[in-house]
Amino acid sequence: MAPQDRILVIGPTGAIGRHVIWASVKAGNPTYALVRKNSVTIEKPKLITAANPETKEELIDNFKSLGVILLEGDISDHNSLVKALKQVDIVICTTGRLLILDQVKIIAAIKEAGNIKRFFPSEFGLDVDRHEAVDPVREVFVEKAGIRRVVEAEGIPYTYLCCHAFTGYFLRNLAQLDATVPPRDKVIIL
């Protein structure tokens, strides 16, 4: 049996990252999480359920109990990022909207590391090359498309994963714009 690819998740404690970690572990992959030195803080995630740990500290403890290998590093620290990348085969970036453009730092580190078989940039929404969005959403799509062009220009093997924004914007509150959790008494169908 061939060894499985080692998967690194960047942004493992976020709304999407934790699920990618859990799915990778469940699939039996050697799973790594890039964590900042100060990432173990007491902070509640946006959506808390009985199945989800309530703090980043509990989440990281959960990762450890599942056998996830924690690699200390930061997107803004090139050397720590290259060091982490040299230990894995596949990189899945799950960082949020505010770090989209910082993925150029990951791309530069991937090029330097020279061993990454596949990169999944932070996408997880609409296909940014096939949309008719208007501002302010269009601006976000332009940034994501720019990251795609950098990945392609650098010749890095990649996969763009688009789930059409359903989980990020509609599922957790059933498209009720002012709700932070799924409503229990009334739902407005848009």
- Rounded to whole angstroms, the Cα distance separating 45 from 5 reads 29
Residue 92 within a domain = yes
Separation in Å, CA 47 to CA 18, 44, 57, 143: 12, 8, 16, 26
Give one word for 164, left, alpha or beta, with left for phi > 0 and alpha for psi -120 to 50.
left
User: Can you give the pTM of this predicted structure?
Assistant: 0.80
Residue 100 within a domain = yes
Query: Are 156 and 124 within 8 A, CB to CB?
Result: no
- pLDDT higher for 160 or 174? 160
* Selected catalytic residue, list 26, 46, 83, 144: 144
- Rounded to whole angstroms, the Cα distance separating 157 from 33 reads 20
Q: pLDDT, tens digit, for every residue of 152-170?
A: 999 999 999 887 665 555 5
- What's residue 78's pLDDT? 97
- What's residue 120's pLDDT? 97
Residue 93 within a domain = yes
Strand order, beta sheet including 69-72: 69-72, 31-35, 7-10, 90-93, 118-120
Task: Supply the mean pLDDT for the chain.
Answer: 85
Number of domains into which the chain is organized: 1
Pick from 12-16, 29-33, 42-46, 81-85: least confident: 42-46
Q: Which domain holds residue 68?
A: 7-171
* Whether the predicted pLDDT of 96 surpasses 70: yes
Half-sphere exposure of 173 (CA within 13 A, CB side): 14
Binning pLDDT at 50, 70 and 90, where does residue 42 land?
A: very low
The radius of gyration computed from the CA coordinates of the chain, to the nearest angstrom, equals: 17
Residue 64 within a domain = yes
Is residue 144 among the annotated active site residues? Answer: yes
Residue type, 42: I
Residue 187 within a domain = no
Residue 123 within a domain = yes
Binning pLDDT at 50, 70 and 90, where does residue 136 land?
A: confident
- What's residue 185's pLDDT? 74
**Residue 90 structure tokens:** 């596949």
* Whether the predicted pLDDT of 123 surpasses 70: yes
- pLDDT higher for 161 or 180? 161
Residue 185 within a domain = no
CATH number of the domain within which 64 lies: 3.40.50.720
Residue 82 within a domain = yes
The closest of 52, 38, 84, 43 to 181, measured between CA atoms, is 52
Query: Are 92 and 9 within 8 A, CB to CB?
Result: yes
